[in-house]
Amino acid sequence: MWPFVGRVRELRDVMPALTDPNGKGAALVGPAGVGKTRLADEVVARLEQTGFTVRRCYATVATSSIPFGALAAMLPADMRTANPLGRAVELLVAEPQPLAIVVDDAHLLDDASIGMLHHVIRHGHARVLVTSRPGERAELWQEGLLQRYPLGDLSRAESDELLERALGGPVDSRSAALLWSGSAGNPLYLRELVVSGRAVGSLRAVEGIWSWHGAIELGGRLGELVQENLGRLEPSHRLALELLAYSEPVELDLLASLVQEEALDDLETRALIRVESSGRRTVVRLGHPLYGSLLRTTCPPVRAQSHQRALAAGLEATGARRREDLMRIATWRLDGGSPISLDLLTAAAEQAWAARDVTLAERLCRAAVDAGGLDRVAYVFGQVLMHGRAPEQAEATLADVMAGPLSAEDLGRLGATRSQNLFFALGDADAAYAVLDRVDVPELPDELRDLVKITRTLQETYHHDVTEVLERTYHVAAPHMSVHMRLVRALCLVQAGRYREVGEEIDRYDTELKALSGDAPPPPDQGALQVRCFALAYGGHLAEAENLALASLDLSFDELAFVGPTSVYSVLSFCARMRGHGGQALRMAREASAKTGEKPLTFDTIALSSLATSAALGGYDDLAREALARAEKACLLYTSDVYKRQ
C-alpha cells in the first residue's frame, strides 16, 4: 500500500461525520484515481480502532443491475421474502454495534441497494461511508443524508512528498515536476507512472537521487487505466482528440475548422477536453496530459502524419500571427512529412532558442544542416551544442563555418558565440580572446562591435580587477545594446560583493528588455534570474533566493543534459547550508552534480564545489574528495596563459 499523503485534512474532517452522536455518514466524491479508496482505507482503520464493526462492499458494473448486488456479501444467499428491504435491514440491525457500512464506487449501486442505504441512514441503524464519482447517483448526499467531501488532485508539494516516501529517497526537482505534470496530481496515475517507470528503467536512482530518463510512455496497467477513462470513442471524437494530442494547447478556431463542432461539445461535456480563455485567446486542451500520450501511442503513423499536415495547413491559413506559430508549423511539417523551406527552419530554430525550447531548437537546426543550411543556423546551433554539453562539436561546427566566405557581421556574431564556448565550456581563455581579436575588425557595425565587447567584458569578470571591468560596462556604441551590458554589470557587482545594487541593475535590465521587445513580452532570461539568485543568497536574503531559484527551475532548460539548472541547484544548496540544513544542502548539491556528467565543464565547478562543501560538512569525506577531483578536471580555464599573466 502506498503512503498516505495529502489527505490528512480530509481525514480529520470526515471522521466526525461518522463518529459524532449526530453523525450519519460521509460521501467521498471525486474523479477516478483521485484517492477516494485510499482515504476510505484510513477511515476504516480509524473506525475499527474506535470499536466500530465495519462491513465493506464494492459496487461494480456487473452488480449494478442485480438487486442488492453490491451488498450481497453482507446478506444471506437466500433472500426470498415478500419484503426483501425489510429483511435486509433486519439482518444489518443484528450486527454488533456500532456499525459502519462502507461502499466503494457507490455510483454503480443498484436501486435496491440505494433504497436500503436510504433506510439505514434515515433510521440511524448504521453510519455510512461511500466513495463516488461526481454527478452520478448523488441521491445520498443531495438529499442531505450524507455530508459530501469533494477530493481534488494532489498539489505539487503533496505529489513530491508522496514520491519521496514511496521511493524511499529524494527525487530530483525536474523529475518530480515531470511526474506531477504527467499525472496532473492524480495519485493513481502517479503510482502507475512510478511502477511502470521503475519496471522499464525510466525511473532510476543516480548518485542517490531518483531521476526520470526519457519521455513518459504508457504501457501495462497505466495504459489500461487511461483507456478506461477515455471510454468508447466515435470516429469524430477520436479525430478531435488525436488532433489535440499533436497540438495542445491549440486555438479553438483552428481545431473547430478541422472537426465537427458537435464532437467538441460532447467531449467537453465528458470532461475529455478543456476549453480555456485568456484575454482574446481561447484554447483547447485534453482533459488529462496522459490522454495525449495514449492517443499518440495508438495512432497509426500514416494517420498521425495526416493530422499534422492538416494542423500545419490550418495554422498557415490563419496567418500564423503568434510568436510561437513558426515553431509549430515547422514541427508539424517535419513530423507530417511535408516539404519545409530552409527559411522556415531557420526562423523557427531562432524562435525555439529564444523561447529556450532547447530540444526543438536542436532538432530544427539539425534539419536545417541536413538541408545544406549550416551557415544559416550556425549561430543558434553553436549555442545549442554549447549548452547541450557538446562543446567540442560546437567548436568544430563554428570553426568550419567561420572558415568560409562570410560578411564581417556574420563573423562577429559567430565569433562571439565561439569565444563563449571556448572560454566557458572548453576552458581555453587564450583561444577565446584570439577569436574575438580576429572578428573585431574596423568595418564591424556598432551593434556587433558592442556584442564582441560585451562578450570580452563578461569573460574578463573572471580574471581581471572587477572594479576596472565594471567601469567598462558603462560604454557601448549602439544605445539598444546597453541593456545587454547591464547583465554583465550585474555579474560584476556580484563579484564585487555589492549585492543590493545587483537587484537594482537587474530591475533596469528587465524594464529595458521589455521596452525593446515591444508588444511581445520576452521569455524569462535565465542569466538574469541566476545572477539575481546569487545576489540574494550571498546577501543573506535566503527565502527570496530560494523562491526565485525554484521558479527559475520551472522555466529552465528542458533536459537533464543542459547546463542551465546546475548553478540554480547550487544556490539552493548554499541557502540550505546557511540555514544549517545539511541534509537538504547535500541533496541539492547532488542534484546539481548529477547533471555535470562524466566530463564536467568549466561552468560546472560551482556545482561540484557546492557538493564538496556540503559533503565535507556532513562528514562524507570520500564524496567530498571525489567532487573536488571532478572539479579540478573542469578547471581548465585557470591553466590558460591569460590567468598566469594576472
pLDDT tens, residue by residue, 481-536: 888 888 889 989 998 899 999 999 999 888 888 887 766 666 667 788 889 999 99
**Torsion (CA) 458, 459, 460, 463 in degrees, nearest 10:** 130
Percent of the chain with pLDDT over 70: 91
- Give the pLDDT score at 638: 54
Query: How large is the average pLDDT for residues 554-578?
Result: 73
CB neighbour burial string for 211-227, b if at least 16 within 10 angstroms, e if fewer: bbeeebbbeeebbebbe
- Give the pLDDT score at 371: 92
- Give the pLDDT score at 559: 47
The alpha carbon of residue 152 and the mean position of all alpha carbons in its chain are separated, in whole angstroms, by 19
Query: How large is the average pLDDT for residues 360-388?
Result: 92
What are the residue ranges spanned by the domains of the chain? 8-150, 156-217, 225-299, 317-371, 528-644
Mean pLDDT, the chain, integer: 86
The residue ranking higher by pLDDT, 539 or 636, is 539
pLDDT of residue 615 exceeding 60, the answer is yes
Domain 8-150: CATH superfamily is P-loop containing nucleotide triphosphate hydrolases (3.40.50.300)
- Give the pLDDT score at 555: 63
CATH domain 528-644 topology: 1.25.40
Bridge-based pairing of strands 209-212 and 203-206 is antiparallel
- Give the pLDDT score at 431: 93
Residue 212: enclosing H or E segment and its boundaries? strand 209-212
> 557: pLDDT confidence band, cut at 50, 70 and 90?
very low
- Give the pLDDT score at 37: 92
pLDDT of residue 639 exceeding 70, the answer is no
- Give the pLDDT score at 641: 54
pLDDT of residue 226 exceeding 50, the answer is yes
d(CA 596, CA 589): 11
pLDDT of residue 309 exceeding 80, the answer is yes
Which residues are CB-contacts of 542 (< 8 A; sequence separation ≥ 6)? 536, 575, 578, 579
**CATH number for region 225-299:** 1.10.10.10
- Give the pLDDT score at 560: 41
Percent of the chain with pLDDT over 90: 43
- Give the pLDDT score at 122: 86
Mean pLDDT check: name the lowest of 340-354, 459-473, 537-551: 459-473
pLDDT of residue 206 exceeding 50, the answer is yes
Query: How large is the average pLDDT for residues 297-309?
Result: 95
Query: How large is the average pLDDT for residues 163-175?
Result: 88
For the chain, the first-to-last Cα distance in angstroms comes to 62
Mean pLDDT check: name the lowest of 532-541, 579-588, 590-599: 590-599
Mean pLDDT check: name the lowest of 153-162, 226-235, 495-504, 637-646: 637-646
Q: Read off the pTM.
A: 0.79
Which residues are CB-contacts of 558 (< 8 A; sequence separation ≥ 6)? 356, 357, 358, 359
pLDDT of residue 642 exceeding 70, the answer is no
Mean pLDDT check: name the lowest of 295-309, 550-564, 603-617: 550-564
- Give the pLDDT score at 432: 94
d(CA 125, CA 148): 20
